[in-house]
């Protein structure tokens, strides 16, 4: 997952949105750490309890964990309250559902499946930004 994150990061630019979904322990944070490493950021940890962290770099990264927002009455309102500078950063959202998808019409949606012994990763491209995407 870490190496996949590094590979993906080479294609990112400011304003990109990445939604990562999968069960607990699937490797969402490790994928985010790989993305961070590829952007020159070494201190990526899970933002579960603080909800979001902004990591400054040549291309900054916002790392968001929407898990605690899912069960709230209005997750969209709470997401808006974070006042994220998504235009100037790569935004990586763990547990990113519909409320997070509305941050950008162009995004990568990554789903990690660990129901078998072999981890399976599906990367879905949404929007014109990702035309021609390959990894």
Q: How far apart are CA 23 and CA 41, in angstroms?
A: 25
Q: What is the pLDDT of residues 20-38, one digit of tens each?
A: 999 988 999 999 999 999 9
pTM over 0.85: yes
- Phi, psi (deg, nearest 5) at residue 42: -105, -15
The pair of three-digit structure tokens given for residue 48, joined into one six-digit string: 């579960």
Residue 44: which residues within 8 A CB-CB, separation 6 or more? 29, 32, 33, 35, 36, 37, 55, 61, 63
Q: Give me the domains of the chain, ranges plus CATH numbers.
A: 2-129 (3.40.50.300)
Q: What is the pLDDT of residues 37-83, one digit of tens each?
A: 999 999 888 766 556 777 898 999 999 887 766 555 555 545 555 65
Alpha-carbon distance of 111 to 109, in angstroms, equals 7
């Amino acid at each position: 997952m870490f190496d996949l994150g590094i590979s993906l990061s080479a294609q990112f630019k400011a304003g990109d949105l990445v939604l990562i979904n999968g069960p607990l322990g699937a490797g969402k944070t490790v994928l985010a750490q790989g993305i961070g490493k590829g952007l020159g950021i070494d201190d990526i940890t899970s933002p579960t309890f603080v909800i979001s962290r902004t990591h400054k770099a040549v291309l900054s990264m916002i790392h968001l964990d929407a898990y605690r927002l899912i069960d709230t009455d209005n997750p969209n309102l709470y997401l808006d309250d974070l006042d994220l500078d998504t235009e100037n950063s790569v935004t990586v959202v763990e547990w990113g559902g519909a409320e997070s998808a509305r941050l950008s019409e162009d995004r990568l949606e990554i789903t990690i499946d660990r129901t078998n012994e072999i981890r399976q990763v599906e990367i879905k491209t949404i929007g014109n930004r990702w035309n021609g995407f390959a990894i």
